[in-house]
Structure 1
């Protein structure tokens, strides 16, 4: 009985480590030719999840980056169609830190948005927040805590 429990425990931890410890995808760095502050939201499906992107230049640059790193390309869709692909429930996973453009505290439209780092409980939470609040994120990275 103890051997069976031991074997099951080892198999469980081996499976969990291969699922949870897979390498993080490379981080997208916006090219200098794109203006990250220009707001002209584009809606795309990123692995069947709705995502707004700040402008068409950033969308095209990220698509090129994804193709070079052997990942699925972004699929352009309308905002109405994209809303059907917003996650309803998010399971707890590893937290992420995202680069998000936020309006200045004064709310002035003459000042450019500020680039801030914001922590989310999971990538799913980030995607849900981004789509529901019409807030584009430039990139994200996974963190331990």
Structure 2
């Protein structure tokens, strides 16, 4: 009867290894819209944690004035920000292999910003490779 405990132990180990692999694969989609929504959800929940875990060392952000910021300053700038409320709209995606380029409007607290986000998959995890924001100007009213 020694084989029964060995079989139970083996089955338990197999079950845990399968489930630990599936839990480790949280970026299990390559659908561009789902990847962006994952990023927005993580960002809204905890901006600092999002930037700390999703941007690689060669990340570059371009602000509305054309100035660059890099990983270190972006992560540091998000320190202390625990949650936020933002949403994306007017989305357009381009995907090629492990690269996604998304553009649209990202609204932060009622302030819309046009964006281009570049995401690339590294070692099975989607990373935020580059970001650009531009101010959205209000359309001029037409006189009748």
Q: Which has the larger radius of gyration?
A: 2
After TM superposition, the score normalised by the length of structure 1 is: 0.29
Task: Identify the structure with bigger relative contact order (alpha carbons < 8 Å, sequence gap 6+).
Answer: 1
Q: Which has the higher strand share?
A: 2
After TM superposition, the score normalised by the length of structure 2 is: 0.29
